[in-house]
Structure 1
Amino acid sequence: MELNQDVVADVRKRLRRAQGQVGGLIQMMDDGRDCREVITQLAAVSRALDRAGFRLIASGLEQCLADDSVQGAADREELEKLFMTLA
């Protein structure tokens, strides 16, 4: 299944933002910042990664629903498994 390039660009942007957040988290830990602040930022990174994954899967589901072929059914099963790994 080929993903829409707009979706790929959006997910790449989200992942780059999360990459920056992870760098910030490492710096926070190196600086000895309060654990509450670190955990709050860690939760934000986790949500950002989840959103990127869900965006990819939502796009894949959309494409699979438009495809009535047998391959589409197999793709839906695979996407369901992928979705459950994020849930």
Structure 2
Amino acid sequence: MELSEDVMSDVVKRLRRAQGQVGGLIQMIEDGRDCKDVVTQLAAVSRALDRAGFKIIASGLEQCLQNGEEGSPQLEADRAELEKLFLSLA
């Protein structure tokens, strides 16, 4: 699966945001910040990673459906693989 430039740019932007959030999270833990603040930041990191993953899978599914011939074994295999990937993020 190849990602379009727009999708790749969006995914990289989301991952860079998550990277910054992880750095902030580490600093919060090292500084002994309140548990509620740490968990809130952890949830934000998790959402950012989930969104990046879902964007990749959605793009793959779109490509699969556009390029595949309905009922072909390859299309069915691609759908099954994307479903498995999607469920791994859920």
TM-score calculated relative to the size of structure 1: 0.93
**Which of 64, 74, 79 is matched with 2:82 structurally?**
79
Write out the 4+ residue segments of structure 1 that deviate beyond 3 Å after TM superposition.
none
Q: What percent of counterpart residues are identical?
A: 75
For 1:22 and 1:84, how far apart are their aligned partners in 2? 24
Alpha-carbon RMSD:
1.0
Q: Return the alpha-carbon distance in structure 2 between the equivalents of residues 49 and 17 of structure 1.
A: 9
Structure 1 CA distance, aligned partners of 2:29 and 2:47?
19
Q: Is the 8 A contact 1:64 1:73 kept in 2?
A: no
Following the alignment from structure 1 to structure 2, what is the Cα–Cα distance between the partners of residues 72 and 15? 29
Residues matched between the structures, number = 87
Which ranges of structure 1 fall in alignment gaps of 5 or more residues? none
The TM-score with structure 2 as length reference comes to 0.90
**Gapped regions of structure 2 (runs ≥ 5):** none
The residue that corresponds to 1:65 in the other structure is 65
- The alpha carbon displacement at 1:66 in A equals 0.8
Distance 2:17 2:68 in 1: 36
Q: 1-side partners of 2:76 and 2:44: how far apart?
A: 34
